[in-house]
Amino acid sequence: MTKENLSVPTLIIIIATTVYSFSSMSTAFYMMGIKSLLWFVISCLFYFVPYTLIVAQYTRKYGDRYGTIYDWLRESLSPKAAFVTICLWYCGYFTWIISLFMKLAIPLSILLFGEDITTHATLFGLPTQYSMALFAIMALFLITWLTSRGFQHIISFLKVSSFAMIFLLFLSIASNGLLISRHPHEFLPNLVQSFQMPSFFKGTNNHLLSQLPFFIFSITAFGGVDTVASLADRTTGSRSRFPKALLYSLGIVIALYLGGIVLWSGAHDLSVLRAQNHVHLGNLMYTLMGELAQRLTETFSLSAPHAALLFQLFIRYTAFTLFTSYLGLLSSITYGPLKSLVTGTPKALWPGRTAELNAHKMPARALWCQAAVVAFCILLLSFNSRLLGNLFNQLTYMTDVARALPYFVVAMSYPFFLKKAIIPLEKMIIPNQKANVFLAHSVCLCILIAVAFQIWQPLMTKSYQDAFSLILGPAAFIFLAERLFQKFEKRAALRLEKM
């Protein structure tokens, strides 16, 4: 099989910029200010660092296998538990794929026109909602076609989005650094103001336990380790290079989150930003980068035309970065989870030639089947039917908990992995049994808190349907996965009888 020969530095760049989210960092600054640092540190110490170490160890053992989570769990737990978990993992990504394709036109419109025109734009004379659906479906088919033509296209998307993100980070760090250097007397007052501002999360206050919603947010900000790990088998030297790159990326991601929050908090008066009525989470990245351009304009006394140019450059480059990030993310999540599910599990589970690889060693049939289902869902949602919209919202709720459970199972399996001595303890990344068990328990506890709060929150607001969906979703997905695996076991038993 042809594999991409990626160096460790290239892998580090791809992994770090995939896991790190500029949007999550800017949201953290806007919602909690400097107080968000505490929750990011807690999430780092008890979730992100332990989970990355666990994934690095599994990748070190199984990095050349197709199945990712399936291979990790098959030996530690059982083939059935591994299959049910990878089905949950895939279902969690499926609704996200639909949502991302439907939002893809927004950063593109800001990049091209300097504003979001998706609320009134038309294609070929079609109404706006159908135009946006058509654009999303065209993008879906294009990415599917490119992905089916070879893994190098996924790597190309990831490289472009990674370098675009690096430049955005440089732009943000340099600009905020300039503001701090020109207004050093504002740095500490801004930090104090940022600390004193109330939490933007509804129903929270300055008491630590009331800020639990932000703990859940900070955990999700470190998502994506499993996505990049699912691509490990398509790179040369994956069992040695990938774990090393994961561990280096861990430090970079932590530094980017913590450093970014300090820089934004020290360079800007959060109370002034919060006072702007037009700001919401959908346009927050563009608003903050636009505000950064405006502060630079005032600091260096630029003329009106230069100020307008700088503003447009900042928001359009932000849109370009977000657009390329979407493309990189979509190319990896339309391939990685599906590849692990279909080609990494026993082929007898899947009908016909679904799991077959094409000449480019890609599961083309499975990719096009997935694209057809996603396109159908996008088309249905374009009708703007209240019923269909509610159904999709409920499906999203159903996958919220389902998305977290695979991480819990992966962490829970780790002590069994250690107990079975699949790798001698002295050859582990951390050659200490108690330390490795602590990693697993720490991740499990964090995810249990997150899941419990996800279910408790709608109950507190008497949104019983949402709470029911959160519980029903994983239960339904587990039931369907078990039924599929039982059919496979029956087929296997019949074959043995005939022999």
Domains of the chain, by residue range, sit at 8-492
Confidence of residue 497 (pLDDT cuts 50, 70, 90): very low
Q: How far apart are CA 159 and CA 302, in angstroms?
A: 35
Q: How far apart are CA 26 and CA 22, in angstroms?
A: 6
Q: What pLDDT is stored for residue 318 in this prediction?
A: 95
Q: How far apart are CA 33 and CA 194, in angstroms?
A: 5
Q: Which pTM was predicted?
A: 0.90
Q: Which residues of 75-108 are buried (b: 16+ CB within 10 A; e: fewer)?
A: bbbebbbbbbbbbbbbbbbbbbbbebbbebbbbb
Which two tokens mark 9? 């530095």
496, pLDDT greater than 70: no
498, pLDDT greater than 50: no
User: Cα dist. 292→27, 183, 268 in Å?
Assistant: 15, 14, 9
Position 430, amino acid = I
Which range (74-83, 122-131, 171-180) has the least confidence?
Answer: 122-131
Those residues with Cβ within 8 angstroms of residue 104's Cβ, 6 or more apart along the chain or in another chain: 135, 136, 139, 323, 326, 327, 330
Which two tokens mark 328? 């990189």
Q: What pLDDT is stored for residue 46 in this prediction?
A: 94
Q: Which fold has domain 8-492?
A: Amino acid/polyamine transporter I (1.20.1740)
Q: Is residue 105 within 8 Å of 136, Cβ to Cβ?
A: yes
How many residues are recorded in the chain?
Answer: 499
Tokens 């995810």 correspond to: 447
179, pLDDT greater than 70: yes
Mean pLDDT of 22-42: 90
Q: Is residue 271 within 8 Å of 193, Cβ to Cβ?
A: yes
Percent residues over pLDDT 90 in the chain: 39
Q: What pLDDT is stored for residue 344 in this prediction?
A: 84
Average pLDDT, the chain: 86
**237 in helix, strand or coil?**
coil
Query: At CA 150, angle to CA 145 and CA 155, rounded to 5?
Result: 100
User: In 10 A of CB 202, how many CB atoms?
Assistant: 7
